[in-house]
């Protein structure tokens, strides 16, 4: 069902500085919601549980949560 995870390496909320100028706060909130929703869904499948755990850890590995890998 979730075979796309094999090719997933990294997804970014903003691709470049131009996106930051175009996207609204609501757009960013919707993107964040979808990212978290996908991770939450995958967490319940034993096959993907370790992947989700590792991805979440890598996403927040920067000091003091100043930088996130999205």
**Domain assignment present for 23:** yes
Report the pLDDT value the prediction gives residue 12, as an integer from 0 to 100: 61
Query: Contact at 8 Å (CB) between 46 and 38?
Result: no
**Domain assignment present for 8:** no
Taking only the tens place, the pLDDT of each residue in 58-69 is 776 765 555 555
Taking only the tens place, the pLDDT of each residue in 8-49 is 555 566 667 777 788 888 888 888 888 888 888 888 888 888
Determine the Cα–Cα distance for residues 62 and 69; give it in Å rounded to an integer.
9
Indicate the number of domains in the chain: 1
**Domain assignment present for 54:** yes
Q: Which structural domain, as residue segments, surrounds residue 34?
A: 15-63
Taking only the tens place, the pLDDT of each residue in 25-35 is 888 888 888 88
**Domain assignment present for 70:** no
Burial of 4 (0-12, 13-18, 19+ CB in 10 A): exposed
Token readout for 56 is 């979440």
Predicted TM-score (pTM) of this structure: 0.52
Question: Among 30, 10, 27, which residue's Cα sits nearest to residue 19?
Answer: 27
């Amino acid at each position: 069902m979730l075979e796309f995870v094999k090719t997933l390496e990294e997804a970014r909320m903003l691709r470049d500085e131009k996106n930051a100028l175009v996207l609204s706060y609501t757009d960013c909130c919707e993107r964040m919601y979808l990212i978290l929703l996908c991770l939450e869904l995958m967490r319940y499948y034993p096959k993907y549980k370790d992947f989700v755990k590792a991805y979440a850890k890598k996403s927040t590995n920067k000091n003091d949560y100043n930088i996130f890998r999205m």
